[in-house]
Structure 1
Amino acid sequence: MLGSLSKAALLLLAVALPTVSAENIISSTSLNPCQDESSFSATLFNVAFTPANKSLGFEITGVSSISGNVNAELELLVYGYSALKENLDPCSNKDLEGMCPMNAGNLNIKSNLDISDDVLNSIPGIAYTVPDLDATVRIKIFSADSKAQLACVEAELSNGHSVYQKAVGWTTAVIAGLGLFASAITSGLGHSNTAAHVAANAMSLFGYFQAQAFAGMMAVPLPPIVSSWTQNFQWSMGIIRVGFLQKMATWYQRATGGTPTTYLSTLSTTSIEVQKRSLALNPRALQRLVARDTTTTAANRVVLHGIERVGFRAHMETTNIFFTGYCFFIIFVLLVVIGVVAFKFICEGLVKAGKMKGDKFVDFRNGWRTVLKGILFRIILIGFPQMMVLCFWELTKRDSAGEVVLAIFTLITMLCILGWASSKVIRIAQRSITMHKNPAYILYSDPVSLNKWGFLYVQFKAAAYYFIVPILGYILIKAMFIGLAQGSGTAQAIALVLIEAGLLIGVSVMRPYMDKKTNGFNIAICACNFLSAIFLLVFSDVFNQPGIVTGVMGVVFFVYNAVFAFVLLLMVLISSGFAVFTKNPDTRYQPMRDDRGSFIKSQTQLTTELDALGATARGEGKGTHPRTGIDDDDDAFSANSAEQQRQMANKEGFTEHYQPAPPRSPVANNFNNQHDSMSSMGQPPSYYGRTSPAPSNGGYGRTASLRSEGQYRAANNSSPWQRGAGYDH
């Protein structure tokens, strides 16, 4: 039987990465039923073949309801291919004399056999090193008289090597974090164009990692190599084992009325199986095995799938998964807040000590509270997929009353925060379009809006400022299917194909991102996610394909995702390195066609033809048109004094060059005072060779409302802002 493993080795020879091990071993830890109402079941099954001492040790505890003479059929499946099939007659085989005849009752076998050199030499060395060996031994027992099939059991073989490695998870996490860190540092140094590109790519990379984690969380029977590969990215869902955190989760669950599972502490008496494609039970049979809404028989046998499979492979009790993910999200938020505050005081200390120039990170130091708010919003966006999946799943599991309350509170809070932020962006952009015929004007000229809400739109071109809404909807719907539909892997797979196809079509047609490279980066990710969804649909056995097809496709899934992830990591790492270590990294990127660079405050080099107007938009210069109050909730400004508005501007971190607005009349008086407002306006500014007398007060000199200003512009000049990527395509 073991000699036939050479056929499995050939299928993975091209992609296998042999690893060094102190001792070669082939083992199995679960004996699983493969037919409905099997007459034999095992509650404990451990088999290990160790070539170093030529021994085969096994321990089996089970229950049999078979009595009388039987025949058996042994089949070896390698990546779904039937590599060996042999008929066994217990009455004519002295090694199986205990099965002739079979007796009903409990079965307890514990033995250690010596293996001959002939069998040892027939096993190829690569069988011990191929990662995630997909080999299964299946035994069917038939009645010798009626030929009816009485039982079917199968054992999955493993050599202990896997593509699931902690080093892979740490590497991907560190590189994704470096991308976000590099973008923050670059933005603080004034290179806004570079920061936007690096941040957009880092966020897209993080989204790809979360998509891979989603694939592993689906209740689809996955080939071993696919299950192991997707396990590398479960850190992005907060599924990380920490000893004291597991104790805290167990305590909290018990304190709030829950009952923790004890799978990890009862492995010596319970057979635990993580659902794989070789589990040949139909859905109805699988439901009959379900306990605690997953899979448990009455005979101490547990089958885990979907999110519980992921948690168990991370060595976590399944009832601790939600609380662990929730805690890691909260810990991440606290660490970021502490880091930002510490960086603020470190910078101030270095400047006072003369160790750092006073113009370094000046925007961050002056408006660090607003920057911190924007960072917190960005963290909520990063954690949105994680918490949506875990919260929806917790609502179906209800591990304890306290955890259900946490799930509901987190769901409502995150949806409200991101919904409010998205609505603010849309309202600000629409106001900018009304006033200046270009959404980029206010979105990028007002420092408060850019620092607080910019995480939602800087990665998109000006006209696609609203595209964050479809992205959030895509994540929410996807999370609902994965979190709420754990009982049907097929439904999840079909839904995922449709969801990923919709996003791919939308991104490919609209091309909403800031430039061609960023669009290509994200289209490639969407295409890869769509292809992965198709593979998951195949893994669900909805097409009833041969096992060899599923086995080969599992290897292909791992290969193309591993190559794609490596390329993305390399691109983000290189761009982050250029951003941090290059003196002027903005030279690597062309100016945005929506002219956002002309509007952004503290831009060091302005190369577009709208430089002067950009300075005016940013409020750089005495008597210019103000930007204070843009982020207010009300559409109209109250008649505050100039001194009050100056104090507000200083509070938000603006520099001394940022002048407050003259008081303006409320919108309610707009129509009554329209004539007076229009007569008090100065001449419009000159654009591209047109001359106009300057206003006597050095600025616009208008006290009309925003609506009157928009009407004036529409009636008296064709706005030069209606240009660039926001309107070209």
Structure 2
Amino acid sequence: MRVLSTSQFTLFALGFLPAQIFATDTLSTNGISTCLTGADIQVQKLDVTYTRSTRELIFDILGSNDIEQNVTASLTVYAYGNDLYSKQFDPCGTENYLAQLCPVPAGTFQAKGSQQIPESFASQIPAIAFAIPDLDGQVKLELKSKQDAHESACIETQLSNGKTTQMSSVTYAAAGVAGAALAVSGLSVVGAAGHPGAASSSPSFGDVMGWFHSMATNGMLSVSYPAVYRSFTKNFAFSTGLIPWGQMQQSIDNFRKSTGGNLTENSYDFLRNATLEFSNGSSTDTSAKVKRGLHLIVGAADLAARDVSTSYSSNSTASNTTSDSTIHKVVSGIEAWAEQLTIPQANIFMTCLLIFAIVIAAITVGILLLKVILELWALYGSFPAKLTNFRKDYWGLLARTITSLILVLYGIWVLYCVYQLTGADSWAAKVLAAITLVIFTGVLMFFGLRIWLVARKYKASQGDASGLYEDNDTWKKYSLFYDNYKKDYWWLFIPAIVYMFVKGVIIAAGNGHGLVQSACQLIVEALMLALLLWYRPYVAKSSQWINLSIQVVRVLSVACVLIFVEELGLSQTTKTVTGIVLIVVQSVLTGVLAILIAANAIILCIRENPHAKRRREAKKMNRDIDDLTPLDARDSLLMENPPRKEYTEMSKFNFTGPYEPYRDQYDQKQRLGSTGSTDRLVDPPDYHDSQHGRSLSRESRHTRDSRGSPDGRKPTAPGYGFAC
């Protein structure tokens, strides 16, 4: 503003505030908003850029005034919620003379120009102001009439150094990590094909996407976020299905319009020309607006060699002013998070639905293409036996892939569907939200019930549910739900699904109530952490520590989000520091996951497949057993024992006859004891294997029992029971 060009205090404020100009050493304004209704002086355009290297300030002001008047100005600079400086001055005074405001002319006026800032003023701007991303600050300018001291204008603007934590490079890197996790998980599954009970590598694709979902949803709550953290969470919007695509948004707008939707302030075209204002007083332009602002800045740079120039425009200029006027919209919660991506809040569900449909179509086409290739391979070449199952199980593989995708996205899907159902918009979009929510929930309920019935069947026949891991067909169908859990904790996928459902409902249904959202979500996250700590359900130690670490960071993240709640009244500085801490912690965990994924990929490439190694060792063992003789038993007695439950079952067997598989051993002892002593000279001891819980040989038991009758009685050696 005119004041900005002459005041050292304004320059100091420029060093503390945010925007989106992509220069390396510039500070610039970012949109304007009025803080006075019915003002005499209206400012429609205010572009100010300060360049550190040249100490030059360029400004472009466009406004209108009802009557010519002399004014006094009051400038207030805020940074991170603190009042840094406040000063009153006279534009007609000798110290801060501004021709454009002395007096303020009637009608429409425009002022463009540049000024060289003295070194004494420029040196007071801290260097860190040009480096910290998403600096949170504002400048407020008030104009009062000298005649009657009434307020004629009130203008607020955001300032920034152009640095932001929302970067396309971060989004691409996160997408690359998710893609790498998917590839490594796929290789792990292929390597374990035909081996029931083999756990997938960790972190898996589901682990990574679940973590990205947590970071994204942390930015959707109705709290007063610092700008630095709000920008950071937008980097992971892709994981929730929100991908900005102008043509798609316009198609969704047309669909909503034809089915009862209101596009007045809820459309893609509206957002392209809007400035979003948040609860903490900060604001941001949408992407199209930012691009237009960049062109204005570049155009203003051409004025660097000029002195201050003032021009007064006619009615034609006034019409241009109307077209360039800024639309302001106050947003919060899920709406604020989505509309920063130029996605109207009423389009959120439909955007996710279309992205999901595109992904499913791509997966279907990819698997079908691979099947066609395998069929041609089988016809015209030697087909590998390992790929036979895939060739025959096309539909099963496709169904399992879609089910896996539903499981990964279920929490986000619940959130978007409930949010769509609670808002007043297109009836068709609501119907689609209800149908898809029922279908997805029904699919997961079907598999949960089916797995529970199968586990119950195994428990009835085998004593436990280990058949879920040992039966090849069962493992192939249902293992995606419990493959990383221990056999005793296969059921933990059910609490995990309930956790995703409840979390999505809390965020969507509690939209607009930040304290309720944060507190309820903290309780849910803490309960999930307690469940994992109590059972430690994961098979691999790596999975145990990775998932526990993710859950601990989730709990801490939600606890930190509580600091952003407006009801607590904490300072903006505290909120900003908390936001930076959150960014650091979440970024470190994301980096650790990326490193672990890379390590898993290297291990898969250089390490021998453990399942193939087991097969080879089993074949070698079988060959060795075939060669055993009584005189050359080698280490056969030291071979691995069968599972413990088999010992218990085998100890119940009585081998005295082929048609008497079970006999109560206690009754047998009672029967022998009732006859007094046996006819043996010395009752031979039971030579039981202490580990197996059964007699060492069938022959010895048969011999001993046969001596219990007169017909089978033979002299024996004392104490040994050997027949003479």
TM-score by length of 1: 0.69
After TM superposition, list the pairs within 5 Å mapping 1:89-128 onto structure 2.
Answer: 94-95=96-97, 111-118=112-119, 119-120=121-122, 122-123=124-125, 126-128=128-130
Deviation at 1:207, TM superposition (A): 0.3
Deviation at 1:204, TM superposition (A): 1.3
Deviation at 1:368, TM superposition (A): 3.4
The 1:690/1:263 distance shift into structure 2, 3 A limit, reads closer
Residue of structure 2 in register with 1:273 after alignment: 276
AA in 1 matched with 2:227: P
Residue of structure 2 in register with 1:224 after alignment: 227
SS in 1 for 2:157: strand
CA distance in 1, matches of 2:158, 2:134: 11
Confirm or deny: 8 A CA contact 2:26 2:49 kept in the other structure.
Answer: yes
AA in 2 matched with 1:488: H
The 1:388/1:127 distance shift into structure 2, 3 A limit, reads same
Deviation at 1:414, TM superposition (A): 1.0
Say yes or no: does 1:337 pair with 2:377: no
AA in 2 matched with 1:480: V
Say yes or no: does 1:259 pair with 2:267: no
CA distance in 1, matches of 2:382, 2:92: 88
* Aligned with residue 362 of structure 1, among 388, 402, 415: 388
Residue of structure 1 in register with 2:407 after alignment: 381
Deviation at 1:379, TM superposition (A): 0.9
Confirm or deny: 8 A CA contact 2:277 2:328 kept in the other structure.
Answer: no
Say yes or no: does 1:159 pair with 2:164: no
CA deviations on 1:95-150 (whole Å, 9 max, x unpaired) are 478879999x9987654442424345554555334322223224567899999999
AA in 1 matched with 2:372: F
AA in 1 matched with 2:47: V
After TM superposition, list the pairs within 5 Å mapping 1:311-710 onto structure 2.
Answer: 311-354=338-381, 358-440=384-466, 442-579=467-604, 581-586=605-610, 605=615
Confirm or deny: 8 A CA contact 2:226 2:572 kept in the other structure.
Answer: no
The 1:333/1:211 distance shift into structure 2, 3 A limit, reads same
CA distance in 2, matches of 1:151, 1:555: 36
Deviation at 1:169, TM superposition (A): 1.6
CA deviations on 1:72-112 (whole Å, 9 max, x unpaired) are 351231x4454434344567565478879999x99876544
Aligned length: 582
AA in 2 matched with 1:553: T
AA in 2 matched with 1:500: E
Deviation at 1:31, TM superposition (A): 3.1
CA distance in 1, matches of 2:66, 2:572: 29
CA distance in 2, matches of 1:603, 1:407: 49
CA distance in 2, matches of 1:245, 1:332: 15
Confirm or deny: 8 A CA contact 1:322 1:391 kept in the other structure.
Answer: yes
Residue of structure 2 in register with 1:196 after alignment: 199
Say yes or no: does 1:86 pair with 2:84: no
The 1:463/1:203 distance shift into structure 2, 3 A limit, reads same
CA distance in 2, matches of 1:524, 1:402: 42
Deviation at 1:323, TM superposition (A): 1.4
Confirm or deny: 8 A CA contact 2:21 2:160 kept in the other structure.
Answer: no
Deviation at 1:199, TM superposition (A): 5.9
Say yes or no: does 1:26 pair with 2:27: yes
Deviation at 1:565, TM superposition (A): 1.0
Say yes or no: does 1:47 pair with 2:47: yes
CA distance in 1, matches of 2:278, 2:58: 26
CA deviations on 1:185-233 (whole Å, 9 max, x unpaired) are 3322336589733266331121010011111222222111111111010
After TM superposition, list the pairs within 5 Å mapping 1:164-203 onto structure 2.
Answer: 164-190=166-192, 196-198=199-201, 201-203=204-206
Deviation at 1:443, TM superposition (A): 0.9
The 1:85/1:70 distance shift into structure 2, 3 A limit, reads closer
After TM superposition, list the pairs within 5 Å mapping 1:124-135 onto structure 2.
Answer: 126-135=128-137
- The RMSD of aligned alpha carbons is 4.4
Q: Which deviates further from its counterpart, 52-61 or 157-166? A: 52-61
SS in 1 for 2:201: helix
CA distance in 1, matches of 2:111, 2:592: 49
Deviation at 1:460, TM superposition (A): 1.6
Deviation at 1:153, TM superposition (A): 5.4
CA deviations on 1:18-50 (whole Å, 9 max, x unpaired) are x99566432233334679x89799785542304
SS in 1 for 2:566: coil
The 1:63/1:227 distance shift into structure 2, 3 A limit, reads farther
Deviation at 1:688, TM superposition (A): 7.3
AA in 2 matched with 1:403: A
CA distance in 1, matches of 2:90, 2:617: 86
Residue of structure 2 in register with 1:72 after alignment: 74
CA distance in 2, matches of 1:546, 1:305: 19
AA in 1 matched with 2:552: A
Share of identical aligned residues, percent? 21
The 1:330/1:267 distance shift into structure 2, 3 A limit, reads closer
Confirm or deny: 8 A CA contact 1:504 1:523 kept in the other structure.
Answer: yes
Confirm or deny: 8 A CA contact 2:65 2:104 kept in the other structure.
Answer: no
Confirm or deny: 8 A CA contact 2:188 2:201 kept in the other structure.
Answer: no
Residue of structure 1 in register with 2:303 after alignment: none
Confirm or deny: 8 A CA contact 1:56 1:115 kept in the other structure.
Answer: no
CA distance in 1, matches of 2:654, 2:451: 34
CA distance in 1, matches of 2:124, 2:269: 38
Deviation at 1:319, TM superposition (A): 3.5
CA distance in 2, matches of 1:690, 1:696: 14
CA distance in 2, matches of 1:531, 1:447: 40
* Aligned with residue 4 of structure 1, among 2, 12, 15: 12
Confirm or deny: 8 A CA contact 2:197 2:475 kept in the other structure.
Answer: no
The 1:149/1:480 distance shift into structure 2, 3 A limit, reads farther
The 1:94/1:477 distance shift into structure 2, 3 A limit, reads same
Residue of structure 2 in register with 1:303 after alignment: 330
The 1:694/1:481 distance shift into structure 2, 3 A limit, reads farther
Residue of structure 1 in register with 2:672 after alignment: none
Deviation at 1:2, TM superposition (A): 5.0
Confirm or deny: 8 A CA contact 1:70 1:144 kept in the other structure.
Answer: yes
CA deviations on 1:427-455 (whole Å, 9 max, x unpaired) are 22222222212212x21233333222221
CA distance in 1, matches of 2:274, 2:41: 10
CA distance in 2, matches of 1:371, 1:692: 46
Deviation at 1:182, TM superposition (A): 2.6
Say yes or no: does 1:240 pair with 2:243: yes
AA in 1 matched with 2:584: V
AA in 2 matched with 1:513: Y
SS in 2 for 1:174: helix
Structure 1, unaligned runs of 5 or more: 13-18, 281-297, 588-601, 613-683, 698-719, 721-729
Deviation at 1:262, TM superposition (A): 6.5
AA in 2 matched with 1:415: T
Q: Which deviates further from its counterpart, 322-331 or 132-141? A: 132-141
Deviation at 1:583, TM superposition (A): 4.7
CA distance in 1, matches of 2:592, 2:261: 44
AA in 2 matched with 1:228: S
Confirm or deny: 8 A CA contact 2:23 2:162 kept in the other structure.
Answer: no
AA in 2 matched with 1:394: Q
Confirm or deny: 8 A CA contact 1:33 1:41 kept in the other structure.
Answer: no
The 1:299/1:20 distance shift into structure 2, 3 A limit, reads closer
CA distance in 2, matches of 1:507, 1:121: 55
